[in-house]
Structure 1
Amino acid sequence: MTFDELKEKALSLPYAPGVYIMRDKTDKVIYVGKAKKLKNRVSQYFQDTASHTPKTRLMVSKIHHFDVIVAASEFEALVLECSLIKRYMPKYNILLKDDKGYPYLRLNMKDIYPVITMVSKPADDGADYYGPYGGRAVTHDVMEAIRLTLKLPGCHKQFPRDIGKERPCLNYHMNQCAGWCQENKSCAEYRETMLQARELLKGNYKAVAEQLRGQMLAASDNLEFELAASLRDRLNAVENLGQKQLVTAGTLADTDVVGYGETEAKACFAVLHFSGGNLLDKDYEVFSRPDDKREAVSSLLKQFYLSRGIAPKRVLLPFAIDDGELFAELLEQQYGRRPKLHVPQRGDNLRLVELACKNAFEEAERVTGREERVSATLTLLGKMLAIPAPKRMESFDISNISGTDIVASMVVFQEGKPKKSDYKRFKVEGLTDQDDYASMRQVVTRRFVHYKAGDKGFDEAPDLLLIDGGVTHAKV
């Protein structure tokens, strides 16, 4: 469609809430937006483009046609917008790079020898799930703290299969494991310890401490001093665990504080997680400086909580966002909890937001420095090769097993960073013997045949090709 045709179509839209989907000439979705009144919002893109920001002008120049979906309400439009952004991951929407949810810890006491494992989300399998936790690192710390406290196995042995088969490992000799692989350790004793682990996961470390104290005193009364000493050490570890609040530190925060900071080139969206007044964890996302910071924070906030599978009781914001109440309603519908979105103006809450903004600015500033270094390196590389600074680089390599099963790989760097979503593997066809030159010629040729055909994953042309080999490879 021409620009005038796009403008005419926009002016014919209804004054109704809905979602608009911008597509390029290949029919690829490049932007998804929501509007209270579709006609007013969409027609703005095709009015005076001189008033647009550079990013918006570039996006408008790529629009070949667009679709709209009329919604019954603003709330329905919000839900649809979030769903479509997650589905299409449009180029001109600000996106979270990592939309994985918070992990949980799984424990199934129905197993003969139950173990604690980390999982992405709960399943309806009869096991107990604890969390969610602030991230994989925090979750691992919680799991490791419980393991060391109760001297649980930290190896890959499976019980009862491996009991008595080998000598105890290094963890036993370092007093980090009770040696559950030895034949003198019973299943009942192991299960009793795992019940204590379950109580720790629930945060009931005081109850576990009282139980261990009773066992320690009983062992002492029976003159079992070695057992009493072992129980004493475990009791001290549990009490220390409770004082440090390592278990509760990973669980759901009751307050999230959102910060935003930007430099000349980069911006950062940061979320600090607080529970009981204690800072537990931080999540952040660095991206190119947006045209509208409120729109950027609003978009990232929705993606962040809808992908995490959980919501806090309260969210402190640096500034008000559009559709805040509708978004809170959506979270309530999704998770059964309606968080309070608040923009503090004074007091301790304001200082927390300032802290989050400071964290965001420092992350943006740190990455800006790295980006500048990468940019300088790419510029220097371009000068050495007498080409413009390469934005997209692709490298190829061939591998085989004694001349058979010949395969190739393509690794992509975009703006100096690995772009793993574009990595490719090729199976070389039609060759019965090792021939690196013919293999490389075939793979590179196939890559550009896909490019000319506009195939997904190959639709961006490289600025520089790096081929493993020598001058002969390049000539071939």
Structure 2
Amino acid sequence: MALPLLPGVYIMRDSSHNIIYIGKAKALKNRVSQYFGSQNNHQEKVRRMVSNVYDFDYIITDSEFEALILECSLIKQNAPKYNILLKDDKGYSYIKVSSDKWRRISYALQQDDPKATYIGPYKSSYYVKNAIDEAIKIFQLPTCNKKFPEDFRKTRPCLNYHIKQCCAPCRGKMSLAEYNEHIDSALEFLKGGTTESIAKMTEEMNKASENLDFELAAKIRDRIASVKKMNDKQKVVDIKVDEQDVIAYITDGDKGTFEVFRFKDGRLFDREHFMVDNGENEEELMAEFITRYYTIRDDVPKQLTLDREIEDSKLLTKWLSEKKGSAVHIVVPKIGDQKHLVDMCKKNAIERLAQTKGSTTGEYGVLEEFKEVLGLDKIPEYIESYDNSNLSGSENVCGMIVYENGKKNKKAYKKFKIKGFEGQDDYASMAEVIDRRLDEYEKAEEPVGFGRKPDLILLDGGKGQVNAVLPILKKHNIDIPTFGMVKDDSHRTRAIVSDKGEIAISRKRKLFTFISKMQDEVHRFAIGYQRQRRSMNTFKSSLTDIPGVGTERAKALLKHFRTIKNISEADYEELLNAPKMNKVSADSVYNYFHNENNSN
């Protein structure tokens, strides 16, 4: 099918004629042809989509803006499998007030109690949960499961009473009227918000003062102070924009998380997150997410604050402005309070993704720093690190350690004995080990152990080690980012090095600490293996002094008895029954350690 160099929408279909992907383009011919070039250049999601394309169609539009509007409409109608499809499952949330005499306030998703009173509905469950939590703390409402008045004076008040977060009706010293005053004030706060609540309480405080009820006035004053303090906590930074959404994206290469923070009046009033398949281009993916998100959300803010530049920024700005009915701005801050907001949003996206991997935010945050500092295409979830060790050119060995999702994976550690040469050659040793490791990868049938390709290789050493390994990767036609870990004269980690030069890491404190620990761990592992082999050879050399015991027999004895001490304490029958032993060698070993003739 001959495609025009005109703007429009293209529609991909499978063999059953189902629509599986819809996209827009400034020039249809250029955009569609990109899908059918080298498959090796595409992400897995795109390769899967292209492999299922049986036919495609297109619609020419007068402009790229019209193409964007048509694309949004068609995606909404057809929900194609390979487009970003955001499920609008927020539903509605309610503030529930129980029907008991001693009422309780709680969060509810449904109006399932006909006797209770419900306030709402609200679209943001985040707002409702946080508002209720604030009200309970400010107005000192109980959160326990005690029933009043049945449980009066049965137990001592809990910690919340002592830290002034509960009025403790369980003490039996509070009247129902006084308790209801707390509940009513909390409901006024929830219905009216901070400003109205403070105004109403200020009026009540002044009235109590005029009536010389100074005790009540003092209580209301404390509540006003609590409301103001809670409000200040919600103002994360001094935001100059009264209405904005902050969006950040984090990916591990296959899956990604979009985090959305929504602000009004300087307060975080809602937050959402969405897991998606990673795309070809993160800037393009962000643009696609924005179009999908504001297709299912009617309230477009005055400003979108993003963690990266996006494709078609001007086009999206025009579309969002028309949807809102007034000007919308898209910004990508580099410094200041807005950058702080973006970093906070990004940190939460990392936390979401880390949870799916069983890691902590700190562990996954370091991997994101790796990606950023080293210019990697994806977060390096599976890192292999190598270090050589030898004793004056003898007992050449190499240790391989593995970090998976930011944690040590000791089950995946491997030991290598250098086989290709004698003497000391650090570069040749590293090349041999990586060659053998990739041989195992190519032979593996399952993506576990050596069958899993690392996302990053770190070598203990400098540019020489890296340059020794790169030809091996090329020989196997395998692309793995490979860097060296360089130490200073005091044997402390100084920098990361590639074949092109050094990359400073001192300013990235978490990354610096992580790499230092990794370098220490791989060095410890390699040295430990080298010492183990040297010890084994020392033991073997002492056994080979015994007549009739050669290298193989000594090795078998050590493997069977574990230590020289166990061999020396073994009786004649145990020696005779050990692997590779016979009567003559058993006599010889037994006599060697017991200094007497065997009478058997």
Task: State TM-score, norm by structure 1.
Answer: 0.54
Instruction: Pick one of 312, 315, 326 that aligns with 1:323.
Output: 312
Cα 1:51–1:248 change in 2 (3 A) is closer
Which residue number corresponds to residue 19 of structure 1? 9
The alpha-carbon deviation at position 249 of structure 1 amounts to 6.4
Q: 1:244 aligns with which of 230, 234, 242?
A: 230
Whether 1:205 aligns to 2:231 is: no
CA distance in 1, matches of 2:339, 2:61: 37
**How far apart, CA to CA, are the structure 2 residues paired with 1:351 and 1:141?**
22
Q: Gaps spanning 5+ residues in structure 1: where?
A: 1-7, 108-114, 121-127, 155-165, 179-183, 377-387, 390-476
SS of corresponding position for 1:245: helix
Q: CA RMSD in A?
A: 5.1
Q: Deviations over 1:131-170 (max 9, x none)?
A: 764xx1332221454477569999xxxxxxxxxxx98788
8 Å contact kept, 1:255–1:313: yes
Match of 2:273 among 254, 260, 284: 284
Q: Residue 83 in 1 paired to residue 73 in 2? A: yes
- 1:33-83 superposed Cα distances (whole Å, 9 cap, x missing partner): 111233332343345556544432321221122333333432232223223
Task: Report SS of the residue matched to 1:27.
Answer: coil
Larger radius of gyration: 2
Amino acid paired to 2:222 = N
Distance 1:311 1:202 in 2: 24
Q: Does 1:295 align with 2:284?
A: yes
Cα 1:364–1:196 change in 2 (3 A) is closer
Question: Is 1:338 aligned to 2:327, yes or no?
Answer: yes
Determine helix, strand or coil for the equivalent of 1:21.
strand
Aligned to 1:5: none
Whole-angstrom distance in 2 between the partners of 1:269 and 1:200:
32
Q: How far, CA to CA, are the matches of 1:14 and 1:106 in structure 2?
A: 56
Q: Which residue of 1 aligns with 2:496?
A: none
1:147–1:369 CA distance, 2 compared to 1 (3 A): closer
- Matched residue, 1:310: 299
Report what 2:442 is aligned to. none
Counting only pairs closer than 5 Å after superposition, residues 72-221 of structure 1 correspond to structure 2 as 72-96=62-86, 98-100=87-89, 133=124, 136-146=125-135, 196-197=188-189, 200-201=192-193, 203-220=195-212
Q: Residues of 2 paired with 1:269 and 1:351: CA distance?
A: 17
- Tell me if the contact between 1:270 and 1:359 (Cα under 8 Å) persists in the aligned partners: yes
Q: Secondary structure at the match of 2:56?
A: strand
How far off is 1:298 after superposition? 1.5
Identity %: 30
Shift of 1:30: 1.4
Q: For residue 312 of structure 1, give the secondary structure of its aligned residue in structure 2.
A: coil
Distance 1:80 1:152 in 2: 52
1:298 & 1:257 partners in 2: Cα distance?
Answer: 14
Q: Matched residues in 2 for 1:146 and 1:49: separation?
A: 56
Distance, in Å, in 1 between the alignment partners of 2:235 and 2:312 is: 31
| Deviation of 1:244 (Å) | 0.9
- Contact 2:84–2:288 (8 Å) recurs in 1: yes
Gaps of 5+ in 2: 97-104, 111-118, 170-175, 360-380, 383-403, 410-445, 448-600
User: What CA distance in whole angstroms lies between the structure 1 residues aligned with 2:343 and 2:187?
Assistant: 43
Q: Distance in 2 between matches of 1:268 and 1:167?
A: 45
In structure 2, how many angstroms separate the alpha carbons of the residues matched to 1:234 and 1:131? 28
For the 8 Å contact 2:287–2:311, the answer to whether it is kept is: yes
Q: 1:37 aligns with which of 27, 38, 44?
A: 27
Q: Who is 1:266 aligned against?
A: 255
* Structure-2 residue corresponding to 1:55: 45
Paired residues of 1:22 and 1:67 also in contact (CA < 8 A):
yes
Matches of residues 62-73 of structure 1 in structure 2 within 5 Å?
62-73=52-63
- 1:216-231 equivalences under 5 Å are 216-220=208-212, 229=216
Aligned to 1:233: 219
Aligned-partner SS, 1:41: helix
- Would you say the 8 A contact 2:140–2:182 is kept in 1? no
SS in 2 for 1:94: coil
- What is the letter of the counterpart of residue 213 of structure 1? M
Paired AA for residue 85 in structure 2: L
Question: In the alignment, is the contact (CA less than 8 A) between 1:101 and 1:308 conserved in 2?
Answer: no
2:21 and 2:49 mapped to 1: Cα distance?
8
Residue 195 of structure 2 aligns to a residue whose secondary structure is coil
Instruction: Answer whether contact 2:45 2:278 (CA < 8 A) is retained.
Output: no
Task: Please tell me whether residue 256 in structure 1 is matched to residue 245 in structure 2.
Answer: yes
Give CA deviations for 1:403-426 in whole Å, capped at 9, x if unaligned: xxxxxxxxxxxxxxxxxxxxxxxx
Displacement of 1:194 in angstroms is 9.0
For residues 397-456 of structure 1, what are the alpha-carbon distances to aligned partners after superposition, in whole Å with 9 as ceiling and x for unaligned?
A: xxxxxxxxxxxxxxxxxxxxxxxxxxxxxxxxxxxxxxxxxxxxxxxxxxxxxxxxxxxx
Q: 1-side partners of 2:151 and 2:79: how far apart?
A: 47
Q: What is the CA–CA distance in structure 2 between the aligned matches of 1:44 and 1:25, rounded to whole Å?
A: 21
Query: How many residues are aligned here?
Result: 337
Kindly indicate whether the alpha-carbon contact (under 8 Å) linking 2:136 and 2:186 is maintained by their aligned counterparts in 1: no
| Aligned equivalents of 1:326, 1:283: Cα separation in 2 | 24
The answer to which structure, 1 or 2, has the higher relative contact order (CA under 8 A, 6+ apart) is: 1
Cα distance in 2 for residues equivalent to 1:191 and 1:264: 50
Residue identity matched to 2:306: L
Aligned to 2:579: none
Q: Could you say what secondary structure the match of 2:309 adopts?
A: coil
The alpha carbon displacement at 1:190 in A equals 12
Residues 204 and 281 (structure 1 numbering): CA distance in 2 closer, same or farther, change over 3 Å?
same
Per the TM alignment, residue 293 of structure 1 is displaced from its structure 2 partner at its CA by 1.3
Q: Report the more deviating stretch, 314-323 or 193-202.
A: 193-202
Amino acid at match of 1:66: F
TM-score, normalised to structure 2, is 0.44
1:204 partner SS: helix
